[in-house]
Every structure is written in structure tokens, then in C-alpha cells.
A and B are shown apart, each in its own frame.
Chain A
């Protein structure tokens, strides 16, 4: 067995209140492409940041070619031979390609640039990737894919021995991904070690040699890619045994009776470039439809389309049988839709406004500025929901930023319930909240279904989806791949569908 190019041993990193990494080992050999996998919060990005000198680890050591290194900044990491290309291209769009590649290490003397040498070295760096383009062109004029290539060329211009690609394919289309893979294989041939972070399992199997799975800040396992089935990989990522068959409790009774009624919402071939492809989806009143899929499978993107935040490029949407085009959340809200975003802080709360103002906002926005809810009515509504959802707050006038995450989530839920919606979309409603609050939110979902609402429930926790849903639609790689109802909803089946591959044929009959 060859000495690994990179060996990280027993890496630990804790932030206030969170253990981000706990004794993680990670090694990459020269001349291999190594996938680093895990769901949100698994510790991938923390590990990358420790490796590239952004964070200092609390424990453990990093060996590069057998020599101990401790980069204190990305620059020091680059000097050691560890170069990184991030998901968001962080180059300067207004500078030329050559300038971007050489920025920070311009050839020249006494503050004067040697432009000819700069261009020559930039051209050489691009030639290594077999890219030909005018190095004097402005970077901003290139496609995202080419910008990514420039970022790689920049990373390689140094004597890089290890290249870290952090979700490089997130904004690329299929052909561009293929080009990127060709470059990755060429660099592997040159003996470089490549760390590849991605959410797309197909890509893992297409290009990587080995893979490492993290979960909750701990190492789950290291495998050769060819030796691990998709299903096994997914169950490692999610931390569930494939054999565990958790059936949805007591859902069989709920369905069936309302089959004849037309769906509240029906999407056919709904699509948006880079978000979701040709989605068919029906949402019925009195049903909780779970939306399952791995990170990056298009769950949130679907929710955003259905709530009018993003507009669809193709396909049609019928609401109560009428063809509808949603152009804004405002229109969606007027149709009786509601959407609790997964990103509470950025897309949900008004941090400096009171619980009362946060809670009545959607209803007031729906009614317009002049049909005002009286102060007494507002207080009554607020107190009603504080009691009904057991929101822990000192009072209705407390700024919402002073509440805990779970209670903020409940206020946002109440904000939409107050509008008496017919469809409520819950995107990760239980993320980042404690277990007690989680159970309460699950109870609320069950009650909403009993009250005849249509609920679209999105969660990355497969058990939650199984527990709460009467029907589950599975997305994979921005496509709908399967649908399960009633007793067919089991963790194992969902996971198979999420993982894809050999189970492909089975899903057909369940649709």
C-alpha cells in the first residue's frame, strides 16, 4: 500500500455549542479522485476549511507527503501545495483572465508588472487544461463553466499536489460537467490528488475512485467507489439501515375517500433550468405529501416554483382545475398558498419586529394596507396561536430575534396559519430545533391534515417523511423518480428511490 498524499488524523473542531468534527480521519492518495460525502451538517465544509487553513483544528494532525503541515491561512495551504476551488467562483469578474490567474503572484519587479510574462504563464496554465481562449478577455464575459476552469487553472498554477473542488458542478449543465470530469481525469493522470465534494451520486460513480462519508461530524467510512452500492452509500449518509422498514403509522385510513375530488394543485411537466426538470405533482386536500430526496435533488427548488418565488420555464400548473401562472409569492398567497421557508433567518423572520407583527404579517399583507386588523384583533390572534402552538415567548411584543429557533419556526407557521391557507408548504420545518418542538410541529402537521389542508412536507430526515406523509414523492438529481402511498411508504423504499441505480425498475409499478 502506497503512502497517502494527504493524511488527516483525528481531526476535531468544535464551535460554541456544536461539535463540528470529532476525530475524523481522511486520506487521499496521489493520482486519485476522492469524493467527500455527507448531508447538511455532516462536517464536510468544516473539514475542507481545516484542510485549507481557514480554521485551525482543535485536535489531530495533517500530513502531506508524510510531512506534518499546519496551514494557518488559505495562502499558507497553497504554499504547501493544497489548492482549492470553491463552489462560488471567487475571482474578479472585471479583470482579465490572465490577471485573475496570476493575481497575488504577478511576475515583475519593483511594483512594475511584467505583462508579457504574466500572459505567457496564464496561457501555459490554461494549456495544461487544454483550454484555449483569449487571456486578455474580461473574466466576466465567460460562462460560469469557463470561469470555473479559470479558477482551476489559477489553483494549478502553483505547485499544487492536492486540488480541492468544493461542489464545482452545482451550477454547470451536463456537457460542462463532462468537460470538467475530463480535466479532472487528466489531472489525476498527472499524479494529482483530487478531493471532490458533491451532492450528486451519479457524479460520484462517474468520476471518483474512492470516497469518504461523514455524518454529524464523524467519520462513517472510507470505501472504494466501485465496491459500494448506491443504496449502501445513501444509508451510510443518512445513518439508517436499509433493512429498517418503518411503515407510516395510521395513514391508510386517511387516503382513499377523497380520491374522486380534483386535486387542489396539479403540476404537469413543470420545469426550470438548473432547478427541476419536468415535474408532475398533485396535491390533494387532507393529504400530507412528503417530498424526499438527497440534498440538491430539487426539493426546495420545487417549493419555490409552487409558491411563485421562481418562475417556471416550462410546464403547466392548475390550481383547483384552472390553469394558473404564478409570478410572485403575493399571487400564491392570494390563491390560498402558504410557504414556510427552510431559511428562517433570511427568508422568514423580521428580526427586529415583535412576535405580534411577525405573526399577523402575512394575513395583513394579503388584506392590503387599508383593510387593517385592529390592534385588539391582532393581540387576540397572537395570543390564540401562542397558546395553540405553545410558543414560548415573554409576550406578544417581544422582538422575535429573542426567541429560540423552534419558537421562531412556530411563529412563522402561525403567520401562515392565520391566513387560513388551503395549501401549506413546509420546507424543513424541524431543522435546527429541539426534539420536543419537533414532536409538537409533527402534531400540528397531523392536525392540519385532519382539518382538510393540503400539506407539502419537505424534509431531509427520512424518518420524518415516513412518519408524517400520506403520500411521498421522491426526487433525484432534479427529477421526480418515484411516488409511494400508504403502506408502501417505508424508509427502505424511499432510500432505494433516492439512491437510484438498480432499483430503477421497481419504482415503475408503484406509480
Chain B
């Protein structure tokens, strides 16, 4: 019985990115010849250490990957998330520049703006029937432009205590952003799996025609997925702006769409849609962040860092695929036989 449980665990999409994280940790330990990488210290009731850093800095990618998972599950893709991070940050920064506006108002306005942008993508895909990659590319370009327009192309410094807590504060000893993102993942998991929304999303992605013929409002489901993605991106933009205490509309959220797509794919959600795994995306985003930190630690120049990143992603994706795994298994048993 334990045999089959082990087997089913090995087939779970989370295994391979988890294995990747463990491998990276090992690389760091060997490179450092010490356990510094794993050390966590407590100062003023807050946890500090490389692992905590990974959780903190990785939280934005995790959050964006949450929305991206749903969009990819309905056979779409959202390229606009990076730009929407910039939009969220810009809206909040401009509003927070005036003392009269509360932090809550600024955040609400920012999230409303990005959710609306997500809805726009959704409508382009479902109503106008534009390819998802084109529709969200439009929003990606337009979003970056609007963000620049809002801030006049300047980096706007944000100095509001309440807002700073978002990206720098601590809750229960952990970075607040990490706690927030993990809580959102738990919430999403409960909402999607306890309601029928998860089933509807998977069905719409698995066979759109069949789900329409079975009486599902496919357009509505898709629009909601894109809206959720916009919302997640907006919140991630706020986290980033709060973390650096500024809204950088030119570079903020740059390449985030690629990282988020990587996280989702590495986490075992197929780009063709259908079955999705939120936990997989979470672990996938952590893997990416661990890799980034490892690159720093090993002293790999930032310009070269994408190469090992690409290699790791290819490796994990190959391991996810049943076919290549069987091929590898074949090699293994052939060797044993020899």
C-alpha cells in the first residue's frame, strides 16, 4: 500500500519542482561549504535568512502565477501581468502622493484598475475572439503606456507608513507579503475546489465546445479568469512598490509574465489548458526564486543568469512529461541489465 502511495506521490506535478529546489539548496550548501544557506535567525521576533528572503522576494511571482494558472487552465495566456503590475503601482503612487487619500482608497483604486484591464483582456478573447496571446499583448503594451502616462514617466517615491507594511512588514515572524500570498493561495484553493468553479475552469480548458454544449457560460468563466489574473498582478505591483518604496513604471514588473508562465508550466499545468494545480504553481515560483538567489550566491553575472534558468526549466519540463520519463526509465533499466 505504501508502495502505491509513493507512486502516486511521484506522479504528482509538485514532485519535480520540489526536487529542483532541494537540488539547488544542495548546490548552495556544497558551494558555501557551510550551512549558511539554511540558517534562519530571529531578531526582534522576525525571522531572517536566505530562505526567508526567498519567500519574501518570491511572493510577487507566486501571486502573479496564481492568476496565470487560472488563465492558462482556460487555454489562455496573460502577457499583460508585468504591465499591470506597473499600472497598479502607478495608480497607488499617484493617489498616495496626496495625504488626503487613505491607503485603503489608493489600493482599492489600483486593484480596480487592474481588474478592469483583466476584464478587457477577457472580453477581447471571448467577445471579439482575438487570440489570447494577441489580446493580452495589446494590454501589455497599452498597460505600460498608461502606467507611464499616469506617472509622467517618473519614478514616484512613496512615503506612507501603512503602505510600507505591505512589502516590508512582518506578521507572525514572517514577511507580511509571504503570509498574504500564502493566505490567498489557500483561499483560492478552498473557493475553487469547494465550489464548482474549479471544475468549470478545467472543463472550459479541456474542451471548450463540449462545455458550451453542456450549458456552461464559457465566456463568463474565461472573463473571470482574466479578471483574477489582473487582480493578482495589480496586488503584486503594490507589493513591489511597497517593497522598494517607489513606483517604477518603466522597469516595474518587467519580464514578470515570463516568470509567471514558467512557474505555472513547471508546476504541472499544461499550456493547452484543462487540469491545473495551484500548489504546483506556488512551488514552481519558489523554484524560480531559489534559482535566482543561487545564481547570486554562486557569483554568476546577472547577464548570464538566464542560461542556467532556461536549462533548469527544460529539465523540469522534461521530467514532467510522461514520455521522456519513460525514456529515461528505459535507459536506467538498460544500464542495470548491462
Contacts and interface: CB of A to CB of B under 8 A. Distances in A.
Interface string B251-290: 0000000000000000000000011000000000000000
Contacts of B203: 350, 353, 357, 361
B332 interface: no
Contacts of B207: 346, 349-351
A309 B209 CA distance: 10
B18 to A, nearest CB: 23
B13 to A, nearest CB: 13
Nearest to B202: A353
A361 B210 CA distance: 10
Contacts of B307: none
A341 to B, nearest CB: 6
B195 A370 contact: yes
Contacts of A368: 196
Contacts of A365: 196, 200, 211, 214-216
Interface in B176-225: 194-197, 199-200, 202-203, 206-207, 209-217
Contact of A347 (B197, B213, B216): B213
The 3 closest A-B pairs by CB, nearest first: A333-B215, A350-B206, A365-B215
B274 A362 contact: no
Contacts of B211: 350, 361, 365
A334 B200 contact: no
A329 B217 CA distance: 9
A397 to B, nearest CB: 12
Given A352-B275, A353-B203, A372 B215 contact: no
A376 to B, nearest CB: 14
A339 B202 CA distance: 21
Contacts of B206: 350-353
Counting chain A CB atoms within 10 Å of each CB, the highest count among B196, B203, B206, B274 belongs to: B196
A348 B213 contact: yes
A302 B49 CA distance: 68
Nearest to A332: B215
B210 A348 contact: yes
A346 B217 CA distance: 17
A366 interface: yes
A330 B215 contact: yes
B215 A357 contact: no
Contacts of B274: 350, 352-353
Nearest to B214: A362
Nearest to B221: A369
Contacts of B215: 329-330, 332-334, 362, 365-366
16 contacts: A328-B217, A329-B214, A333-B214, A349-B210, A350-B202, A350-B203, A350-B206, A351-B206, A353-B203, A361-B211, A362-B214, A364-B200, A365-B211, A365-B215, A365-B216, A372-B195
B199 A357 contact: yes
Contacts of A352: 206, 274-275
A372 B210 contact: no
Given A353-B203, A353-B206, 17 more contacts: A328-B217, A330-B217, A332-B215, A339-B213, A341-B213, A346-B209, A347-B210, A350-B203, A352-B206, A353-B274, A361-B216, A365-B196, A365-B215, A365-B216, A368-B196, A372-B196, A415-B214
B199 A361 contact: yes
